[in-house]
Amino acid sequence: MSQAHTVFGSLKDYTKGTIELVSGEARHYVFSNIFEVASKAQPYERIVVGKNLEYVQEVMRAEGVSPWFACAHDEFALCMDGEVTVDFIRMKHPPGAAKNGAVLAGDAPEGARMGHVKLKRGHQVLLGAGNAYRFTATVTGVLMQQTVLGDLSVQKWREICLS
Q: Is residue 31 part of a domain?
A: no
Q: Rounded to whole angstroms, how far apart are CA atoms 38 and 14?
A: 11
For residues 47 and 37, is the Cβ–Cβ distance under 8 A? yes
3-class SS at 161?
helix
| pLDDT computed for residue 15 by the predictor | 74
Residues in contact with 118: Cβ distance below 8 Å, sequence separation at least 6, in sequence order: 83, 84, 85, 86
* Beta-sheet pairing, 111-120 with 46-52: unpaired
Q: What pLDDT is stored for residue 11 in this prediction?
A: 79
- Tell me, yes or no, whether 128 lies in a domain: yes
Domain count, the chain: 1
| Strand 55-65 to 46-52 pairing | antiparallel
Q: Are 117 and 67 in contact (CB under 8 A)?
A: no
The strand pairing partners of 126, in sequence order, are: 76
Q: Does residue 18 lie in a domain region?
A: no
Give the structural domain span for 64: 42-156
Task: Please give the pLDDT value at position 24.
Answer: 77
What is the structure's pLDDT at 29? 59
CA distance 116 to 113: 9
Tens digit of each residue's pLDDT, the chain (163 residues): 778 777 778 878 877 766 677 777 766 655 568 999 999 999 999 999 989 888 999 999 999 999 999 999 999 999 999 999 999 999 999 999 888 999 999 999 999 999 999 999 999 999 999 999 999 999 999 999 999 999 999 998 877 766 5
pLDDT value for 43 = 98
Q: Does residue 9 lie in a domain region?
A: no
Instruction: With H, G, I as helix, E, B as strand and everything else as coil, classify residue 69.
Output: strand
Asked if residue 162 is part of any domain, the answer here is no
Determine the pLDDT at residue 136: 98
What is the structure's pLDDT at 19? Answer: 65
Nearest alpha carbon to residue 130 among 72, 89, 64: 72
Say what the pTM is.
Answer: 0.86
Which pLDDT belongs to residue 87?
98
Give all strands (DSSP E) within the chain, no chain letters: 46-52, 55-65, 69-70, 75-91, 103-104, 111-120, 124-127, 131-148, 153-154
- Does any domain span residue 141? yes
CA atoms within a 13 Å half-sphere pointing along the CA-CB vector of 46 = 21
What whole-number distance in Å separates Cα of residue 141 and Cα of residue 75?
19
- Residue 8, domain member (yes or no): no
DSSP 8-state code for residue 43? B
Decide if 37 is inside a domain. no
CATH no. for residue 48?
A: 2.60.120.10
